[in-house]
Chains A and B, each alone.
Chain A
Amino acid sequence: MAAAQTLLSVEHISMRFGGLTAVDDLSFDARRGDITALIGPNGAGKTTVFNCITGFYKPTSGRISMAPNGVIDPTALDALTRSGARGANGLHLLERMPDHEIARDARVARTFQNIRLFSGMTALENLIVAQHRPLMRASGFSLFGLIGAPSYRAAEQAAKDKARGWLERIGLAARADDPAGALPYGDQRRLEIARAMCADPVLLCLDEPAAGLNPRESAELNALLRSIRDDGTSLLLIEHDMSVVMEISDHVVVLDYGRKIADGTPAEIRNDPSVIAAYLGVPDEEVANVEQEIGA
């Protein structure tokens, strides 16, 4: 296996809301071609980390860098940090960018814990909206589109074909023309993933994709996520469902009370005493013992 490249690097980020520290000095990497899972008990700060990466929150301190097409070169990164710019030469500092630029330029797409589809638009329209940028350019910022230029029609057909491909892949081709809000819950989850993928991301961030799914749907989701990874998009996911995490992730980061308590392969995480303690809860003296063991 070739040395895994770092695609996204989170360094020492903290996020404070008034007196509450939701994320405390967190660092981890997501490597290209990996499925990285971010796990932790409720309230551990996972979604806050997601919101910092995707620009919906600005972290109080720390650095988040992303190299959509290359590798993160430490010297270039330091030069970029000093320059005060948002990005240069294919390297982006996400904490400096507004959310839509992170999606557009750094090519990070995301889904939401509480599904955010365009409920009054059809499944197909949801996927077409995600392809806004190429379509907007093809429509000559609406001018060519307004006069019905053939070049725009071809671009729209291509967008439609791409959307159809994704609808077939998630098994929703028959419901393409139904409003997204009328689809069953599991279908909405998959449609949201397909919509994010239509935005052509390099890194796909999924906030609890398996929440509310039954075991069969959950297994289908695993297959879908693996196929997305195999097609070249890296994944970062928050998940509670351990069957999903342990089965598909290549790399797991465990958070508790906003701090990282473990980082490694699923097998390493499974046997980590601090993780077990965080999840199952242990008497206070045992926590102290465990903390001593891991040197916290």
Chain B
Amino acid sequence: MAEASPVRAALADAARYGLIAAALAFPILALRAEPDFSNKLVLEPRWSWMLGAAVAAFLVRLAVALAPARAARKPAAAKAPSGFAKKATKAFAAFGLGLIVAWPFIVLLTLGPSGALKWIDNYGVQILIYVMLGWGLNIVVGLAGLLDLGYVAFYAVGAYAYALLATNYGVSFWICLPLAGILAAFWGILLGFPVLRLRGDYLAIVTLAFGEIIRIVLVNFSALTNGDAGIASIPRVTFFGLPFVAGPKGFAAFFDLKFSPIHRVVFLYYLILVLALITNLVTLRLRRLPIGRAWEALREDEIACRSLGLDTTKIKLTAFALGAMFGGFAGAFFAVRQGFVSPSSFNFVESATILAIVVLGGGGSQIGVAAAAIAIVGGSELLRELDFLKQVFGQGFDPTQYRMLLVGLAMVVMMNWRPRGFVASRTPTIFLGERKTIAADLVQEGRG
């Protein structure tokens, strides 16, 4: 009897999960609305789908419950990485960087110019933009511990700064790039002032509202921004003055290459790579300076900071300004890449994605944020390539419809598996004897 009870408990537990899954699946899977011949919607029952979901939930839960209990995790306070682990991490980082630098050429050589475009643009440039945005937001959320739900506002400021200056005054991208950063930093400070006294949920609400205000201003200030229609025909990126065009004055002719649109994409790839690496380098440097330590101290305990004479107002404003500046750079890059900006590119979902990248990466860790950007952006792009599922579910099945559902599911699983993100531990910025990583349970997340 004593031996049977855990199994019985597991069965009961799994049955409960199966029931919940069935209840959830009923509105989502079991009923499908189809237009009939007279174009009226009729409900077509699909009970087998609902049953399948319930059985799957039952079996998975049963397997989890009956799996041998995981060994109790030891709360390792601080551990010095062993020599091997250190070397392995370094080797992995060097390999990763090498792969990223060589990526366009690897793809070009394996797939040829026409096949490579998607892999450089969607999987290269797109991911690197989010890596950069994640690193920028990481200053505010990960280091300073200030929850910012409106980060996309600075991305928008940067994008519109370039779009407006370039289309109205013909200012070159290379001049606009620093200007976009400065303007975004200025807006970062403007946002910073009203939220200085707010913490936690209240801070999050105000930053969320700020992001929406910027977007709504862009929609309604038609005289300047052309409203919802956006700004089109923004000058494209040039190779330091050489345009990527087919004519004799183009980049291809100058370097005696056969013209191909891939040149521009490869150049954009390296441009955003350099911008992202600069963001990373500056952040890593700042972390070891008094200002970076003050950000982290602010995240750990704001009251203690003030008792030591640190002006928390200035510290918060610098965090907002610097994070916004990198968002502005990324925005200018976005505008020059797309050649078109409109308010719909800067909605709340973008802010949420960037924040999800930072949280999933593990606030404060640069490599974790990069990995999370690759996982979230690259993963959701990869889910577009699910055509093989048609073989499983029949031709009527459209896998792209389930893309965001799967992304959400993956995030729920991830956050259950690693609640503090990929790299939750913290590396000290200064040391006397040896640098030991600090376990996540000691590091505060900041309360606003």
List chain A positions with a Cβ less than 8 A from chain B.
54, 56, 99-101, 103-104, 109-110, 112, 116-122, 124-125, 128-130, 132-133, 135-136, 139, 141-142, 145-146, 152, 156, 160, 164, 167, 173, 176-179, 181-182, 195-196, 199
CB-based contact B436/A146 at 8 Å: no
Residues of B within 8 A of A199 (CB): 308-309
Q: Which of B286, B290, B304 contacts A118 (CB 8 A)?
A: B304
Q: Contacting chain A: which of B189-197, B365-373, B375-383, B427-435?
A: B427-435
Closest to A183 in B: B77
Contact, CB under 8 Å: B308 / A146 = no
Contact A164 B429 (CB under 8 A): no
| Binding stretch for chain A, among B7-15, B53-61, B331-339, B437-445 | B437-445
| A136 touching B291 in the complex, CB below 8 Å, given contacts A116-B301, A176-B432 | yes
Residues of B within 8 A of A181 (CB): 77, 442
- A142 x B289 contact (CB < 8 A): yes
Is B264 interfacial (CB 8 A cutoff)?
no
In B260-310, the 8 Å CB interface with A consists of: 282, 285-286, 289-291, 293-294, 296-297, 300-301, 303-310
Q: Is B78 part of the binding interface, using a Cβ–Cβ cutoff of 8 Å?
A: yes
Chain A residues within 8 Å of B16, by CB: none
Which residues of the other chain, A, contact B431 by a CB distance below 8 angstroms? Answer: 122, 124, 176-177
**Assembly CA distance A164 to B430 (angstroms):** 12
Contact at A119–B444, with CB atoms within 8 Å?
Answer: yes
Say whether B296 contacts A118, CB under 8 Å: yes
Tell me, yes or no, whether B34 is within 8 Å of chain A by CB.
no
**Distance in Å from the Cβ of B25 to the closest Cβ of chain A?**
42
| Contact present for A109 and B444 (CB under 8 Å) | no
Is B353 at the interface (CB under 8 A from chain A)?
A: no
Known contacts A119-B444, A177-B428, A178-B436, A132 near B289 by CB under 8 Å: no
Give me 8 A-to-B residue pairs in the complex whose CB atoms sit less than 8 angstroms apart, sorted by A's number.
A100-B305, A103-B308, A109-B309, A116-B307, A119-B443, A120-B442, A129-B293, A142-B290
In angstroms, Cα B433 to Cα A160, docked, is: 12
Q: Is B447 an interface residue (CB 8 A)?
A: no
- Contact across chains for A109 and B308 when beta carbons are under 8 A apart: yes
B173-200 at interface with A (beta carbon < 8 Å) = none
**CB within 8 Å of A: which B412-429 residues:** 426, 428-429
Asked if B311 CB lies within 8 Å of chain A CBs, one says yes
Instruction: Judge whether B347 is part of the interface by a CB distance below 8 angstroms.
Output: no
Q: B306 touching A178 by the CB < 8 A rule? A: no
The bracket for how many chain B residues form the interface is 35 or more
B428 touches A125 (CB 8 A): yes
Asked if A120 contacts B438 (CB within 8 A), the reply is: yes
Instruction: Out of B291, B294, B312, B428, name the residue touching A124 (CB < 8 Å).
Output: B428
Inter-chain CA distance A182–B434, complex, in Å, is 16
Q: Bound complex: CA of A141 vs CA of B290, how far in Å?
A: 9
| Contact among B306, B309, B438 for A179, CB-based, below 8 A | B438
Residue of B297, B300, B307, B435 with most chain A CB atoms under a 10 A cut-off: B307
The answer to whether A118 touches B438 (Cβ under 8 A) is no
The complex places the Cα of A156 from the Cα of B429 at a distance, in Å, of 12
CB distance from B317 to the nearest CB of A (A): 13
- Separation in Å of the B121 CB from the closest CB of chain A? 33
Which B residues touch A100, using CB under 8 A? 305-306, 308-312
Chain A contacts for B435, CB-based, 8 A: 177
Residues of A within 8 Å of B303, CB to CB, are 56, 112, 116
Q: How far is A156 from B444 in the complex, measured between Cα atoms in Å?
A: 25
In the complex, which of the residues B290, B293, B303 has the most CB atoms of chain A within 10 Å of its own CB atom? B290
- CB of A110 to closest CB in B, whole Å: 5
How far does the alpha carbon of A99 sit from the alpha carbon of B302 in the complex, in Å?
Answer: 12
B78–A179 touching, CB < 8 Å: yes
A125 touches B429 (CB 8 A): yes
* Bound Cα distance A177, B429 (Å): 10
Complex Cα gap A141–B317 (Å):
14
A112 touches B304 (CB 8 A): yes
Task: Report chain B residues within 8 Å CB of A112.
Answer: 303-304, 307
B301 lies within 8 A of A109 (CB): no
Asked if B306 and A139 make an inter-chain contact with CB atoms under 8 angstroms apart, the answer reads: no
Complex interface: chain B residues within 8 A of A103 (CB): 306-309
With A116-B303, A117-B304, A119-B300 given, is the CB distance from A132 to B293 under 8 Å?
yes
The answer to whether A99 touches B297 (Cβ under 8 A) is no
How far apart are the CA atoms of A56 and B308 in the complex, in Å?
12
Q: Cβ of A152: which chain B residues have Cβ within 8 Å of it? A: 289
> Could you tell me if A142 and B308 are in contact, using CB atoms closer than 8 angstroms?
no
Asked if A129 meets B294 with Cβ closer than 8 Å, knowing A112-B307, A119-B442, A177-B433, the reply is yes
How far, in whole Å, are A112 and B435 apart by their CA atoms in the complex? Answer: 28
Docked Cα-Cα span, A199 to B428, in Å, equals 20
B306 proximity list for chain A (CB < 8 A)? 56, 99-100, 103
- Given A116-B304, A120-B300, A179-B442, A128 and B436 touching (CB < 8 A)? no
A128 to B77 alpha-carbon distance, docked (Å) = 21
Q: Which of B290, B304, B429, B433 contacts A136, CB < 8 Å?
A: B290
Closest-by-CB residue of B relative to A205 is B307
12 more contacts with CB within 8 A, not counting A56-B307, A133-B309, A181-B77, are A54-B307, A116-B301, A116-B303, A122-B428, A128-B430, A136-B290, A136-B291, A142-B286, A164-B432, A179-B442, A182-B78, A196-B308
10 shortest interchain CB distances as A-B pairs: A120-B443, A104-B309, A103-B309, A182-B77, A118-B300, A181-B442, A116-B304, A135-B290, A145-B289, A176-B432
Taking the nearest CB of chain A, how far is it from the CB of B3, in angstroms? 41
In the bound assembly, the distance between CA atoms of A222 and B305 in angstroms comes to: 26
In the bound complex, residues from chain B placing their C-beta under 8 Å from that of A125 are 293, 428-430
CB nearest to A148 among chain B residues: B285
- Using CB atoms, name the residue of chain B closest to A135: B290
CA distance A103 to B304 in the complex (A): 11
B243 to A: closest C-beta gap in Å: 34
**B430: chain A residues within 8 A (beta carbon):** 122, 124-125, 128, 156, 160
Taking a contact as CB atoms under 8 Å apart, the answer to whether B307 and A132 are in contact is no
A176 to B290, alpha carbons, bound, how many Å?
Answer: 18
